[in-house]
């Protein structure tokens, strides 16, 4: 018999080494090297095809495009994040914190998709009776929805060949095991092999497969990074378990935009989509408060109005503290440095606490102006008019730089009753502003603060 070879594989990034290492040289993680048996090289499959086409080279000029019609669910928020609906034969990965609602979302979607095709719900974490109890609470039922508590990929393959479903849900990928792989369940080798098998099933049989992925304490999907490279779409389900609102964010999508988000509210009867999230983010805004400014942020193709709050207090120690929630910490420090240099605000001896309300995370440059105005409002202890909102990027010289999709931003602000919006002056060319909102063009941050507070 051939000698069994072993290797040590990093469970964080998939790096392999012939000997044990305390620290992974690839990703720097400590105590993540686990001993696994080295798998023999599998024979190449010569009959592997994708979408029924042979794998022989073709000229790009002769390739025929076969447009597959998307399947729409009853959740319009999910349809938009996916790029317009579910693409047949796609492999979709959904990650999120424990208890955030991943299984609830997929069970609801399963109840909707079973009306248009057969669906197999495979669970490696719950029994059929447990899933049925949650299905009763969500009002999910149907003769086309099959529950299958199983973790062995050999049995799952057999059931897929027997039932021939149009949709498959795998909950979760870390609990599935490939019999041919001798390493432990959830290891890098198992996750990589199971994902490769699911991808082969999806592409050769035109079956749409939804996969649930666990996340690490850092918030990334557990397992090797190749897991996200292999699938077609990666969605993150975000939110605070202490609040009812959830955000479904696309970070990879081969069939649509990667900037879209969908907003849901967790209720007793399941997830309900939020049609107008701007009203939710602004409904608890306190009248007359200082340090509060509203920004019109673009999440994909959707404009969302979010309140930015700032609290500036004198520091009690030598180094001023900078704390942010939902905003990039480096961007906060940059804006405060510009305000100190270009607007004569002495912030070096002030502690700053900034927050984007509603649990949303903002990372686009267009939030700079609202952030700067809210900081100045809290520092000067002067209120910003409640019907004003702000859009603009700030440069290091204090200039206000143009942003994209200005027409949609201004239109959304006018729809929600705002009377005045400050925008970059260069954005005023080439379009006609609405008549029910005053559009103020500004060039520098100093000019903006003078117009807002004087």
* 96 assigned binding-site residue: yes
Residue 103 annotated in ligand binding: yes
Neighbouring C-beta atoms of residue 168, cutoff 10 Å: 27
Confirm or deny that 111 is annotated as ligand binding. Answer: no
Contact (Cβ atoms closer than 8 angstroms) between residue 165 and residue 207: yes
Take residue 315 and report the two structure tokens written for it. 């520091």
Q: Cβ contacts of residue 282 below 8 Å, gap of 6+?
A: 294, 305, 306, 307, 416
Token pair, residue 445, equals 């941050």
CA dihedral 154→155→159→160, nearest 10 degrees, is -30
DSSP for 393-419 reads EE-TTSBEE--S-HHHHHHHHHHTT--
Residue 247, Cα to own-chain centre: how many angstroms? 7
Find all residues with CB under 8 Å of 46, minimum gap 6, and list them.
none
Of 74, 380, 66, 98, nearest to 215 by C-alpha is 98
Q: What is the DSSP string of 221-246?
A: BSS-THHHHHSSEEEEEEE-TTSSEE
Cβ-proximal residues to 237 (8 Å cutoff; 6+ apart), any chain: 94, 95, 96, 97, 100, 101, 102, 105, 246, 247, 248, 249
Binding site annotation covers 102? yes
Residue with tokens 């699938």: 231
Q: Which of 185, 181, 249 is nearest to 223 (CA)?
A: 185
291 known member of a binding site: no
Residue 98 assigned ligand-binding role? yes
Q: Is 127 annotated as a binding residue?
A: no
The answer to whether residues 382 and 389 touch, using CB atoms and an 8 Å cutoff, is no
Residue 252 phi/psi, 5-degree rounding, is: -155, 135
* Neighbour count for residue 425 (Cβ, 10 Å): 17
Does 415 show up as a binding residue in the annotation? no
Residues 6+ apart with CB under 8 A from 185: 151, 174, 175, 176, 177
Binding site residues for ATP, as ranges? 96-103
Binding residues: 96-103
């Amino acid at each position: 018999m051939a000698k069994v070879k072993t290797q040590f594989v990093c469970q964080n990034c998939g790096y392999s080494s012939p000997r044990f290492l305390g620290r992974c040289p690839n990703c720097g993680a400590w105590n993540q090297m686990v001993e696994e048996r080295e798998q023999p090289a599998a024979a190449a499959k010569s009959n592997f095809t994708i979408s029924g086409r042979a794998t022989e080279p073709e000229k790009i000029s002769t390739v025929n495009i076969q447009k597959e019609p998307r399947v729409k669910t009853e959740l319009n928020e999910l349809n938009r994040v996916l790029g317009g609906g579910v693409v047949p034969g796609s492999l979709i990965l959904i990650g999120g914190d424990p208890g955030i609602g991943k299984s609830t979302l997929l069970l609801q979607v399963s109840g909707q998709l079973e009306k248009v095709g057969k669906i197999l719900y495979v669970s490696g974490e719950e029994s059929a009776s447990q899933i049925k109890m949650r299905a009763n609470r969500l009002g999910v039922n149907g003769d086309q929805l099959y529950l299958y508590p199983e973790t062995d990929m050999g049995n799952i393959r057999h059931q897929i060949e027997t039932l021939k479903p149009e949709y498959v849900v795998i909950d979760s990928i870390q609990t599935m095991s490939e019999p041919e792989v001798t390493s432990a369940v959830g290891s890098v080798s198992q996750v990589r092999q199971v994902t490769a098998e699911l991808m082969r099933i999806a592409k050769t049989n035109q079956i749409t497969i939804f996969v649930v992925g666990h996340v690490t304490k850092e918030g990334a999907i557990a397992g090797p990074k190749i897991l996200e490279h292999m699938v077609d779409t990666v969605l993150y389900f975000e939110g605070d378990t202490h609040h009812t609102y959830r955000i479904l964010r696309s970070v990879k999508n081969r069939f649509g935009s990667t900037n879209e988000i969908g907003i849901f509210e967790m209720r007793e009867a399941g997830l309900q989509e939020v049609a107008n999230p701007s009203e939710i983010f602004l409904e608890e805004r306190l009248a007359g408060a200082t340090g509060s400014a509203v920004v019109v942020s673009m999440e994909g193709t959707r404009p969302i109005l979010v309140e930015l709050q700032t609290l500036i207090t004198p520091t009690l120690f030598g180094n001023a503290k900078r704390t942010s929630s939902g905003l990039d910490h480096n961007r906060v420090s940059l804006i405060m440095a510009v305000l100190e240099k270009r607007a004569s605000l002495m912030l070096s001896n002030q502690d700053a606490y900034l927050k984007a309300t509603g649990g949303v995370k903002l990372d686009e440059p267009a939030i700079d102006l609202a952030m700067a105005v809210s900081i100045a409002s809290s520092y000067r202890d002067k209120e910003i008019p409640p019907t004003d909102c702000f859009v603009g990027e700030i440069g290091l010289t204090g200039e206000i730089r143009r942003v994209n999709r200005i027409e949609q931003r201004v239109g959304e602000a006018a729809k929600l009753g705002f009377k005045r919006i400050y925008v970059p002056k260069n954005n005023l060319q080439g379009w006609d502003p609405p008549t029910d909102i005053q559009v103020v063009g500004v060039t520098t941050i100093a000019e903006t603060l003078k117009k807002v507070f004087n």
